[in-house]
C-alpha cells in the first residue's frame, strides 16, 4: 500500500511539473490554433491520466473551472489554481500563485527568446 502511494505521488509530482512548465512556456500571445492545442491537451490529459480516481476528480474540477488559454499568464494562473484545488482536497499546503513565474523554468537554450 505504501509503495503504491509513493508511485502515485511521483506520478503526480512529474505530471504537475510538466503541466506548469508547459504553461510557463506557452506563448504570451497565442494564436487561435495554439489556444485550441492547449485546451485539447488539458482535456485529453484529464481523460488519459493514468490514475483513474485522479482523472475522474480532475474532470470534475475542469467542468467547474474550464481551461484558461488566452495567454501564458492566464494559463499559468489557471493551472496554479486547479493544482491548489487538488491540494486543498488532499489537505496539502496552498501554493502562492504569485510565485509561479520564478518556479517553473524549462532549462531550454532558447528560454530567453521565448520570454517575450
Q: Which grid cell sits at 51?
A: 490514475
Nearest Cα to Cα of residue 73 among 23, 20, 17, 18: 23
Report helix, strand or coil for 105.
Answer: coil
Rounded CA separation 16/2 (Å): 21
> Contact at 8 Å (CB) between 20 and 80?
yes
Interface residue with ligand FAD among 53, 102, 109, 110 (CB under 6 A) is 53
Q: Report in angstroms how near the CB of residue 69 gets to ligand FAD at its nearest.
A: 17
* Stretch of residues binding ligand FAD (CB under 6 A), selected from 21-29, 34-42, 47-55, 63-71: 47-55
Nearest Cα to Cα of residue 75 among 47, 48, 106, 97: 97
Identify which of residues 37 and 57 has a Cβ nearer to ligand FAD in the complex.
Answer: 57
Q: Report in angstroms how near the CB of residue 39 gets to ligand FAD at its nearest.
A: 15
Between residue 9 and residue 38, which ones bind ligand FAD under the rule CB under 6 A? 9, 12-13, 15-16, 20
Q: Which residues bind ligand FAD (CB under 6 A)?
A: 8-9, 12-13, 15-16, 20, 49, 53-54, 57-58, 80, 83-84, 86-87, 90, 92, 95, 100
Amino acid at each position: 500500500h505504501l509503495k503504491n502511494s509513493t508511485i502515485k505521488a511521483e506520478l503526480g509530482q512529474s505530471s504537475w511539473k510538466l503541466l506548469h512548465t508547459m504553461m510557463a512556456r506557452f506563448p504570451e500571445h497565442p494564436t487561435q490554433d495554439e489556444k485550441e492545442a492547449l485546451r485539447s491537451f488539458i482535456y485529453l490529459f484529464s481523460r488519459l491520466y493514468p490514475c483513474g480516481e485522479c482523472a475522474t476528480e480532475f474532470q470534475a474540477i475542469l467542468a467547474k473551472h474550464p481551461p484558461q488559454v488566452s495567454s501564458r499568464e492566464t494559463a499559468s494562473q489557471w493551472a496554479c489554481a486547479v493544482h491548489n484545488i487538488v491540494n486543498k482536497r488532499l489537505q496539502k499546503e496552498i501554493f502562492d500563485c504569485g510565485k509561479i513565474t520564478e518556479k517553473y523554468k524549462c532549462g531550454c537554450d532558447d528560454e530567453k527568446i521565448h520570454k517575450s
